[in-house]
Structures are given as C-alpha cells and as structure tokens.
Structure 1
Amino acid sequence: MSKRIAGPEIERLIQLLAKVPGLGPRSARRAALHLIKKKEQLLSPLAAAMSEAADKVRICSTCGNVDTADPCMICTDPRRDAGTIIVVEDVSDLWALERAAAMNVRYHVLGGTLSPLDGIGPDQLNIRTLIDRVAGGEVKEIILAVNATVEGQTTAHYLTDQLSGFDIKVTRLAHGVPVGGELDYLDEGTLAAALRSRTAF
C-alpha cells in the first residue's frame, strides 16, 4: 500500500487527472503539482472553465457533436453543404476533419463502432438519427469516415446496407499511402489498401 503524500483534496485531483486519456498516475501527479504551483494563473481559471463547461456543454441532437448550443454551430451554419454528411466514429474525428478544412459540409457522430463482443449493437450507436436525416430528402451523399479497423469496416458495411434503399451516394475515405509517406515504412495492409484504391494519374 502506497503512502499518502498529500491531503485528500490533492489526492482526488491527481486521481481524476489520471483518468484523462494520455495521463497516467505519474503524469497526473506532475500536472497536479504544476497546477497547484500556478494556482492563480492556471488552477483557479481551469476550475472556473470546467465548471462553466459542465453547465453549458450539450450534445447536438442532430449530429452528436459537442457544443454549447443544440443544434450545434456546424448544423446551424447556412454556408455548409447540407447535402453532404461525413459520418465519423467520435467527436475527436469530427474535430480532426474540421482542422483539415478540406470540405465545408455537415457531420454525423456515431458514438463508436459496432462491436458484438463488447455488447455494442446498432441500438447503442447514433444510427437511427442518421437514417432519419437521410429520409428527410436533403442529403445527397454520405461519406463514411470511420477508422480502418475491423469494427470500423463492419460498421461501414452495416451503414451501407441500411442506406441502400435511399437515392444517395455512399462513399468512404481512401485508404493507403499517407501524404509524405515512404513505401518502405508502410505495413502490408496499408500498401494493399493503397493498391486497391489506386486512381488515375
């Protein structure tokens, strides 16, 4: 049993920080100590920001994005192409695509992937809302931007099947050689996908 090195409030701060992805117990202790040392500049403003976020953050009932408004800013932006929806597994994927700023479209967050072994079926994901959005008639293309994992591809196939009755185009992200990538450093699966997804030059 490890010795306590600080009061219960600090121990609780460390335990909660350790639950943040990317922070283990050691990193959580260092982060907590840094916050405490910079109490006025960091700890107090962070506590206030977290309290405000806890009060105001909402899940968009249309797409599943995280925002302070429902519907979110992306869903209510009239400049976006409402006819194209990019389907992603998680909000972090949506944010990554937004950072790339490649397309000015709408999104749909599934909240995970199909995984029967983990008890995650269609009812546990945000699929029904996607079907309802497509049934509204405004959507012309669905872009499946799920991860190239077994679960991701299973989910993509399931969604393609569910959307087959609608007069829309269903596409997926290309898989293969990344920009700036060297063939010698790529795994066999990536190279095989790149060859299958080859395009005219």
Structure 2
Amino acid sequence: MAYEGVVQDLIDELGRLPGVGPKSAQRIAFHLLQAESVDVQRLADVLVEVKRRVKFCAICFNVSEEDTCRICRDPRRDVSVIAVVEEYKDVAAIERTKEFRGRYHVLGGAISPIDGIGPEQLRITELIRRLADGAVQEVILATDPNLEGEATATYLTRQLSPYGLRITRLASGLPVGGDLEYADEVTLGRAFAGRRSAT
C-alpha cells in the first residue's frame, strides 16, 4: 500500500538504507511519526552533523572527524603490521577483540564483477603506496570469508608478493559451541587446513 505524499517519501528513503526492507522502512517511518518532535529533530541534527564532520582518514581510510583517525595517530600501534579490511565496520569489529595492535587499511569494498566492482574501484593503489617506506613487514588480509572476500585476498596476494612482505590471512573454521554435522563443507575444510598442534 502506498501512503500519501511525504509519508511515502519517508518510507521510500528509509527503504534505500542497507538491510532495511519495505516493512522495516514502514515500521521506522511510523515510529518517527509517533515520536516526540524533539527526538526526531535530534536525529535529523545528528544526521546532518555526521555528514558535515566525518571524513576518511588520509592514511587508512577509516572514518574520522580529523584528517587522521585515532588509530593512525596512536604512537603505541605497531606500524609494521597492517590489517586490510573491506569496510569501516570491520575495523570496529577487530578493535572489539582487543587482540590486534597494528594499523588498518580500509579498501572500501571487495572485488565483485557482478556488482561492477573491480580492483580499480578499491583503495589498492593507496595500500601499495603505504608500503614504499619499508616500515610494513606484515599485511594481514582480513577480508570477509565469502566469494568476494576470497577473490580480493587472492588478488592482493598476487599484487603484494613482489614486496617481500609476510602476507597472512585470518584463520577461519568452526565456531566455538558449533556442531560438526551442521558445518558447511567450506568451513569444515578450512578448519582442517588451519589445524594447529593440540599440545
């Protein structure tokens, strides 16, 4: 069902957001209609402010309110290791683990011929430029474990091999608490390939 004028415009705009289908867009629109004006204004102000103030880090292309992000500005981070990720949200996910103390490089996506995304649409040239000073010793390819992520990792491995770096890939396998019978073949195969000593 189509609604009148600006209500339908709101539903249409919300529906353009990633992961928001028509029903979710309609639910959010009606939630906003029922919300207090001050709450809706606060949301509108934050949306305008984020577009005005947030930019991409000049070094790693993570989101930042300054020319360089807090990770690139942090002198305690290990400059010899770069984790290459597809999107900004991947940086946040890795940071939550508190396991990685290196720096990042955000590609801005993954190679996906179906979606018209080739290597030239990603920030690969900028990654290679970061290797020029010889400070980087290891590049961790932390792309998603799907077809596009694997294609991107394979391409990057070929591109980075001449630089004499240690090129690694995130380990992948069975989730903690999972059952073998429910694991797909790729995950189970990776778990075997990435096995480690039990002692």
Structure 1 pair 67/190, CA: closer, same or farther in 2 (3 Å)? same
Correspondent of 1:48 among 45, 50, 60: 45
Match status 1:159 vs 2:147: no
Task: Give ranges in structure 1 of 5+ residues lacking alignment.
Answer: none
What is the aligned partner in structure 1 of residue 60 from structure 2?
Answer: 63
Give 1:86 shift: 0.5
Provide the C-alpha distance between the structure 2 equivalents of 1:196 and 1:172, rounded to a whole number of angstroms. Answer: 12
Q: Tell me the amino acid that sits aligned with residue 160 of structure 1.
A: T
Q: Please give the root-mean-square deviation of Cα atoms over the aligned residues, in Å.
A: 1.6
Give 1:95 shift: 1.7
Runs ≥4 in structure 1, deviation > 4 angstroms?
none
Provide the C-alpha distance between the structure 2 equivalents of 1:11 and 1:69, rounded to a whole number of angstroms. Answer: 37
Q: Tell me the amino acid that sits aligned with residue 61 of structure 1.
A: A
SS, match of residue 9 in structure 2: helix
Give 1:118 shift: 3.5
Deviations 1:100-122 (A, max 9, x none): 22212211111122233443222
What is the aligned partner in structure 2 of residue 189 from structure 1?
Answer: 186
Provide the C-alpha distance between the structure 1 equivalents of 2:132 and 2:182, rounded to a whole number of angstroms. Answer: 44
Give 1:22 shift: 2.2
Provide the C-alpha distance between the structure 1 equivalents of 2:160 and 2:2, rounded to a whole number of angstroms. Answer: 57
Correspondent of 2:28 among 4, 28, 31: 31
Structure 1 pair 3/141, CA: closer, same or farther in 2 (3 Å)? closer
Q: Tell me the amino acid that sits aligned with residue 17 of structure 1.
A: L
Deviations 1:12-67 (A, max 9, x none): 22211111222212211111111221233521110010010111110222112112
Q: Is 2:2–2:8's contact at 8 Å kept on the other side of the alignment? A: no
Match status 1:102 vs 2:99: yes
**Superposition TM-score, scaled by structure 1 size:** 0.91
Provide the C-alpha distance between the structure 1 equivalents of 2:24 and 2:161, rounded to a whole number of angstroms. Answer: 48
User: Taking every aligned residue pair, what percent have the same amino acid on both sides?
Assistant: 46
Provide the C-alpha distance between the structure 2 equivalents of 1:74 and 1:19, rounded to a whole number of angstroms. Answer: 31
Provide the C-alpha distance between the structure 1 equivalents of 2:159 and 2:63, rounded to a whole number of angstroms. Answer: 25
Give 1:192 shift: 0.9
**Superposition TM-score, scaled by structure 2 size:** 0.92
What is the aligned partner in structure 2 of residue 121 from structure 1?
Answer: 118
Q: Is 1:14–1:29's contact at 8 Å kept on the other side of the alignment? A: yes
